[in-house]
Structure 1
Amino acid sequence: MRDLYTKLGSVDPTNLIAGSRYPIDHIGVTLAEDTGEIKNGTVLGKITATGVYVPVDSTATDGSESPVCVLAEDIDTAILTDAVAYRCGYFYRDALIFGGSDTYENHELEMQRLGLYMTKGVNEKGAVA
């Protein structure tokens, strides 16, 4: 009989999620093999030809130049290639990690269209910094 449930990983609370202003939803993704350790909060793009995910990089031309989701856990791709990612949510922009020399400015509008919203951090008085 086929397994009806497979554990892909686990998610630990971090300073990545900015709140519940927008819905948060998860998906399972397959990361490209042997791309090293990819950290929680990395914005991922999807390589069109293979369907695997890598850190988004605006200089790429294989489909991974466009953001798709945000990785929800630290993964060493030499050991495990399946992972959990957020396909929508509300994130602190300074906690997000991008590939190449990209920053949130390169992808902010496209991420908003996907339901991946960003905000600045909050200072010690609770105001948006």
Structure 2
Amino acid sequence: MSNETKRDVFEKLAECYSDVSDAYTNETGSPYYCDDEPNYLDEYDAALPDDLPVITELISKYLIMRKRDRGDLVQALDEGTSFLLDGTQWESVQDWFWFSDVKDRVDTFALAWVLGVWRVEETGEIVKLEAEK
């Protein structure tokens, strides 16, 4: 594994693109690209990560509920591994096991919590919580 970030690799690619553009323009006398081409580095910075956490729909609803209640991650994990969702028990034992069965799932939940964005397993929908103002 490399110590380069994805941003480092993308910047190298952008530099190569620029070199090709300059060479093409010098050789042909016409630009390789249009002047109104977007700034891809800015778009890359604004884009979502490639490896979004994936959580189930019910866990997604739970995360949204805890965030809206201004709960903290420790509370959410504690309640998530016990029983609360909208003041009731988990809808099924399987939902509870999603949380408590595997350490990686707790890490996935925590990552979704911190990023404020995740993919819903059943639908593929990307949920993005807006930052509070």
TM-score by length of 1: 0.23
More helix by share: 2
TM-score by length of 2: 0.22
More strand by share: 1
